[in-house]
Chains A and B, each alone.
Chain A
Amino acid sequence: MLKFLSPSNVYSFIQSLIKFINSIFFLILLIGLTFALILSPPDFIQGDSVRIMYVHVPSAWIGLLCFSVITLLSILNFIFKIKNFYLINKSIAPIGLLFTSLAIITGSLWGQPTWGTWWAWDARLTSMLVLMFFYILYILCFKFIKTDEATVKWSSIVAIIGSINLPIIKYSVDWWNTLHQPASIKLTGSSSIHSSMLMPLLVMLLVFLLYAALIFLMKYKTEIIRIKKKNIKKT
């Protein structure tokens, strides 16, 4: 099943994809930064501090997206035993940890001028911190558990338990009275963010997604080579 996704088949495709992302990345980054730092207007209440949103929000979204993918692939791996999913998850987890940490740090830097505090034990902030701990726990499974079978088992358990936190993060601003503002962008229904701010946000999201894809492909390629290196004498 899913043989076309086997490492050998996707290896040359990965190489081409890395080259493609490398060729367009800096141009899109430049456009994103120009929009975020120069062209987008300051907020009526928050002033120029709102520009932190252009790095904070995409970081948080990618942090959540990575853990959702990890959970989905862990469940599929549990059912179908596809080793490739294990490699994909191993490559995604550090990216998720990076972006979750960046979301917390930039959120803190945004919180100081707007709320007057670097940190509050608010439901959204705390649940994001919990997500970061789950990422750390997940990565530690790969570092400290010796056999592949045990690693798959324990990392999947961590991912599935950690996934309970995902809806908590999403709905924390609705379920509890929090310092953190409710979602301004909705997939269903109208967003409360003006297009002059939505556009730079989407460009920055694209930049972050391309970066995440680039790191994922490089890490996945490393994992493939590591495995092939082990087996080279057996061929």
Chain B
Amino acid sequence: MISEFLNMNGYGLYVWSSFSIVLISCAAVYLRTRKTLRKYEQEFLKELQSLSQEEQSKAVATSKIAQQILATNTKTN
């Protein structure tokens, strides 16, 4: 029954190749996008931490995004 399902009446090669290509490329794009996002978040955090205490407080106070990234990082740590 499983081999029948995999064979798909002789069209298995085409059907499974299509689904596999779509799933693999979508997974690859997802992982790459997530990696880039994390890289930028870390770089932003490093940049923020390299500032003096006063500059850092000012940046956090004025930027909602800095607050968010700092909050996310605190949670994950």
Contact = CB atoms under 8 A, between A and B. Distances in A.
B14 A225 contact: no
Contact of A12 (B8, B37, B68): B68
Interface residues of B, number: 39
Contacts of A112: 14
Contact of A215 (B12, B19, B33, B55): B33
B63 interface: yes
Contacts of B19: 33, 36-37, 55
A159 B36 CA distance: 26
B48 A109 contact: no
A94 B29 CA distance: 9
Given A225-B44, A232-B48, A56 B65 contact: no
Q: How many residues of A sit at the interface, in one of the four size bands?
A: 35 or more
B14 A102 contact: no
Contacts of B33: 215, 218-219, 222
Interface string A214-232: 1100110110111011001
Contacts, number: 111
Interface string A42-71: 100001110110011001000000000000
B22 A106 contact: yes
B3 to A, nearest CB: 14
A194 interface: no
A59 B29 CA distance: 15
10 contacts: A7-B65, A8-B63, A37-B19, A47-B11, A48-B11, A52-B14, A109-B21, A113-B11, A219-B33, A226-B40
Interface of A: 7-9, 11-12, 15, 33, 36-38, 42, 47-49, 51-52, 55-56, 59, 94, 98, 101-102, 105-106, 109-110, 112-113, 211, 214-215, 218-219, 221-222, 224-226, 228-229, 232-233, 235
